[in-house]
A and B are shown apart, each in its own frame.
Chain A
Amino acid sequence: MKRKTEVSELIFKIVAYFFLIIFAILCVYPLLFALSSMFSGFDAVRDNEIVLWPTGKLQIEAAKYVLSNASFWVSYSNTLFVTFIGTIWCLIYSILGAYALSKKRLMGRHGFNFFLVFTMWFAAGVVPQFLNYQATGRVMATIFAGSTNMGDIDLKWLIVLAMGMNATNIVLLRNSFEGVPSEIEEAARIDGATELQILMKVYIPMSRATIATVALFFGISRWNGYFWAYKVTGAAGQSYSWPVQVYMRDFIQINTSLTGEYNADTAEIAHLGQATSIAYAMVVFAMIPILVIYPFIQKYFAKGVNMGGVKE
């Protein structure tokens, strides 16, 4: 009997290790593939000869091209701007709102919660959302540029203000604030702390793990956002406010055969393999900030992602 238990346990353990290691390798493989392709010879890239290691005549021209490509870095700085300012803006209204919602004494608390959670159940859809962003752009142009053409304002600000909302993040923050013992708040109140001081000095330091996780979620969605930035800047014909994702996709579409729209006559770079290698270099550069920040915040995930309490 005892022996039998050990055997089944051993088999299970072997299967588990095997499966996990294979899956982990598969998860990082495409990124290694991009890194190798960036340094591989142009002909090898064109002929799909890279499997894992850099192949062919190794080069760093692709990386050099990207480093000296001004429009890539303009789009890169746009993304940095949108990520920093956008994350801070989202965090400010989310933390303030979540703090108010976490208070039992708030009248109409259930109504406000429903107002928030309803957006998780029902969304207007792509076309109404796009109409809404266009209308926002027109209003912003009226206020700041005195025209009704949304191309007259810097659309980075529209992206920062109007995009990246996430009700789940606010619910996570609210749950975390609800977990702070009310005695601490009362003590602070007796000491004469105002509402804002209590939030800043008590609640925010005690919910650091959740705030870090939520900030990461906001930041990553900003860094990776493509569709709406593409739609809005495309509608206004404004390419100077492109985020890096939009620039990268545009480059890949014009210069490489990956998206199936390749036309040798309109491509900016003569050699297809060189263009593809440059595209991989852009992919690598665009991933670097995430890869740098990710290990530091990774430890908070298990603590921050407490989905058990989306309940109102």
Chain B
Amino acid sequence: MFKLKCDDFLIRDEATGQYTMSAEQQVRDETERNKWKTTGFTILKDWRLYLMLVPMILVYVLWKYLPMYELTAAFRFGNYEIATERPWAGLYNFNEIFFGASALEFWRAFRNTFIIAFYGLLFGFPMPIILALFFNEVKSNITRSVIQVCVYLPKFISTVIVTSLTLALFSGNQNGGEDSKVGVISQLLGAISGSDVLHGALPGGLVYTTQYFRAIYIVTDIWEHAGYDSIVFFAAVIAVSPTSYEAAQIDGAGKMAQMRYVVIPSILSTVIIMLIMKIGGLLSVGYEKLYLLCPSATYGNYEVANVVSTWANGLTDPSTQAFGIAGEMTNNLIGMILVIGSNAIARKASDVSLY
């Protein structure tokens, strides 16, 4: 007749018509009520695990999260060193860098950041994929290993050495010898273009020119990272099963068709994940290298080489330092939006996401 659906937790007393709670439900409620106690117990039992976390959390709080606290200086007036004693300025610093006295400098730095990052992605991203596809063609393990040892190597050379060698190879005739030549690559470019500009008339070298700086920066960046970044793609390429190739060959697919219909679809998820990672780091361009190639505003390439972080680093006048902090904060927030956005788009479009 009358049967409650919930009668696994309620019991009806036939005599009085009253409902009482079942024993099982009482136990369940009790457990629910005491959940905090068991939680506490688990934490107590696993205290060693939490103890293991302590050093890492301490390091990250002290040297990653406390600097974020320093960002409050972006909302205060003036000299950052005594920021906590300075009055609040609201959005004054942001107003100044977006529309006010420092707008020209900030937007130039921001544009430079974006251009360098964008070209770096455009030309730098396909390179490791191409390398990985080509590595797959080298069937001899020894030959491939030798080539791989060579192409991974630049990743491990320090920025100081990379920039010094870049300056040397792209140098102009700055050494004052009687019949001095320009740097090796400058000579080569001069011979190709046949232009006199590269034959010694240029004292400071190609790195310090506004025309060539971006190209040199991106080429040396590819030189540094392409080989090493190909590891991930190569792992994806060799994971393609040989039977897929055979099937494609039987269907009459040439090499290009095999690439198009077999290899590319199989490595697509890796490509998307790496792309998200690259876009996430887009606006945090390597300030170390840029600083070494353009340490101050007196250099000829400053117009194109100063990015937001090096611009902020160069603001030593107490009245403008808060501008630098505000500018970097803007830059890094946009960077964060880029990584979260690209991740969301990738998840929607192809079910591949990083985070």
Please list the residues of chain A having a beta carbon within 8 angstroms of any beta carbon in chain B. 1, 4-5, 8-9, 11-13, 15-17, 19-21, 23-28, 30-31, 33-34, 37, 43, 46-51, 92-94, 96-97, 99-101, 103, 105-107, 112, 115-117, 119-133, 135-136, 162-163, 165, 170, 194-196, 199, 220, 223-224, 226-227, 245, 248-249, 252, 257-260, 262, 272-273, 276, 279, 283, 286-287, 290, 294-295, 298, 301-302, 305, 307-308, 310-312
Contacts and interface: CB of A to CB of B under 8 A. Distances in A.
Contacts of A31: 153, 157
Contacts of B234: 302
Interface in B30-51: 39, 42-43, 46, 48-50
A105 B42 contact: yes
Contact of A122 (B60, B161, B255, B333): B333
Nearest to B325: A127
9 contacts: A11-B255, A20-B134, A24-B146, A27-B153, A107-B42, A132-B63, A226-B160, A310-B354, A311-B355
Contact of A5 (B167, B205, B255, B277): B255
A126 B312 contact: yes
Helix, strand, loop or mixed for chain B's interface? helix
Given A27-B227, A127-B325, A223-B158, A48 B309 contact: no
Most chain A C-beta atoms within 10 Å of own C-beta, residue among B42, B67, B187, B256: B67
B52 A99 contact: yes
Contacts of B173: 48
A96 B58 CA distance: 13
Contact of A301 (B231, B332, B354): B231
Most chain B C-beta atoms within 10 Å of own C-beta, residue among A19, A48, A295: A48
B285 to A, nearest CB: 12
A4 B165 CA distance: 46
B57 interface: yes
A36 to B, nearest CB: 11
B164 A20 contact: no
A122 B169 CA distance: 36
Most chain B C-beta atoms within 10 Å of own C-beta, residue among A30, A103, A112, A133: A30
Contacts of A220: 156
B94 interface: no
Interface stretch (B18-26, B102-110, B174-182): B174-182
Given A33-B184, A226-B292, A308-B270, A124 B160 contact: no
A125 B309 contact: yes
Interface in B289-330: 291-292, 295, 299, 309-310, 312-313, 315, 321, 324-325, 328-329
B55 A97 contact: yes
Given A122-B336, A165-B63, A245-B160, A307 B274 contact: yes
Interface residues of B, number: 114
Contacts of B270: 308
Nearest to A12: B255
Given A126-B309, A136-B62, A5 B249 contact: yes
B149 interface: yes
B168 A24 contact: no
Interface of B: 39, 42-43, 46, 48-50, 52-53, 55-57, 59-60, 62-68, 70-71, 73, 80-81, 130-131, 133-135, 137-138, 146-154, 156-161, 164-165, 167-169, 171, 173-177, 179-184, 187, 204-205, 208, 223, 226-227, 231-232, 234-235, 249, 252-256, 270, 273-274, 277, 280, 284, 287-288, 291-292, 295, 299, 309-310, 312-313, 315, 321, 324-325, 328-329, 331-333, 335-336, 339-340, 353-355
Contacts of B150: 24-25, 27-28
A223 B270 CA distance: 30
Nearest to A97: B56
B134 to A, nearest CB: 4
A260 B53 contact: no
B175 A273 contact: yes
Given A27-B153, A195-B52, A33 B161 contact: no
Nearest to B208: A260
Given A30-B165, A99-B52, A294-B156, A48 B171 contact: yes
A135 B148 CA distance: 44
Most chain B C-beta atoms within 10 Å of own C-beta, residue among A1, A37, A126: A126
